[in-house]
Amino acid sequence: MRVLVPTTVQPSNYLTALQDSNYGYTNSGDYATSPVWSSAAAYAIGDKVIVESSYSIYQCIVAHTNHAPPTPPLTSNTWWVRISASNAWKPFDALVNTNRFAGYDSAPSQSAGFSRFRLVGMGAFDSVAILNADVSWIHATYTAVGNFALPEYERYIYCLDDSLVFDAWEYCFGDLPYRNNYVFDGIDGWGTGITGDAPTLSLEAVNFQSLGTVRIGEILVGPSYDLGKCHSGAKMSLVDYSVKTVDAYGNLSIVSRSYSFNATFEIEVPSLRRSRVTQLIADLRATPCVFYPTSDDANDGIIIYGVIKSFDMIFETPERAYFSLEVEGLA
């Protein structure tokens, strides 16, 4: 059983068009409804603007001229409230169900069916989780000395779920689903430099499906820790935030909203590691993390991004300690 503790991604970690025009990202798809904030413009209640430096979209709540949106970490002031991350920043906004659309990008290397992310200065890390993705395959590489060296780590994951293919007809004509959560592990990542020659993590995603648009919910990078052996009987349950109402005549009305998963894991830990694991869980008690038995299990759907809800020792022997870990998923 492993837990990935995400390292916060800052704008300086995310290579932009200013640093590498072939890999840059823009928020061009946001501009139709959210132009760049201007000190000379007069804003009415409900107007939206984008602030490139903070990758944020703000909505006007008091009509005014020449009052800037708040500076992060503040999310509101007298005149503005932050309503979402911009398209380019949605994979790093800690919200799994907000998708970045590759088709919004206009840099030379971008197209509706292709998306590339490059992160530098992420410190020490060994794992990457990509959640709520709509892609055909993902290619991850890590280079320790910049852009043009051979990668120290490279892995492809083909995302088609063909577990229900029983014959040639199903393979050719069946509506096969795509898995949407992935973990890349075993990366010897390090380094805090933020130039183009710094240790670099690159993620490429391609979508060959009919709609062809790459969607990425969240990208989480950081060190992972072994909590122990996950026993059979792990349980995941769906929490649906949709609103369902029935009127006096029995007519059902549904307002679709986001969802999350909760999970419970039964974990076996050698007694010599019991204190270390207990302290780690206590340290992470209010930290959103990614939990999964193994990377293979994660790629098959047994993965959850959330916070620890409870941690109970349920049985102990001189050689082994047994814990029950309950995780509350984030939407």
Q: What does pLDDT average to in each consecutive run of 10 residues of the chain (331 residues)?
A: 92 60 52 83 93 87 94 90 85 78 41 73 93 86 76 87 71 72 92 77 76 79 93 87 91 89 91 88 93 87 91 81 91 79
Full set of structural domains in the chain with CATH: 9-25+90-223 (2.60.120), 28-85 (2.10.10.20), 227-329 (3.30.200)
Distance CA 291, CA 188 (A): 20
Q: Are strands 215-216 and 235-240 parallel, antiparallel or unpaired?
A: unpaired
* Cα dihedral across residues 302, 154, 4, 294: positive or negative: positive
Count Cβ neighbours within 10 Å for each residue of 245-284 and write b for 16 or more, e otherwise: eeeeeeeeeeeeeeebbbbebbbebeeeebeebeeebeeb
Q: What is the dihedral of CA 124, 27, 50, 256, to 10 degrees?
A: -90
Sequential DSSP letters for 153-175: EEEEEE-B--TT--SHHHHHHS-
Distance CA 65, CA 111 (A): 37
Cβ neighbour number for residue 180 with a 10 Å cutoff: 18
- Which pLDDT score, from 0 to 100, does residue 291 have? 95
Count of alpha carbons within 13 angstroms of residue 90, beta-carbon side: 26
Number of residues that make up the chain? 331
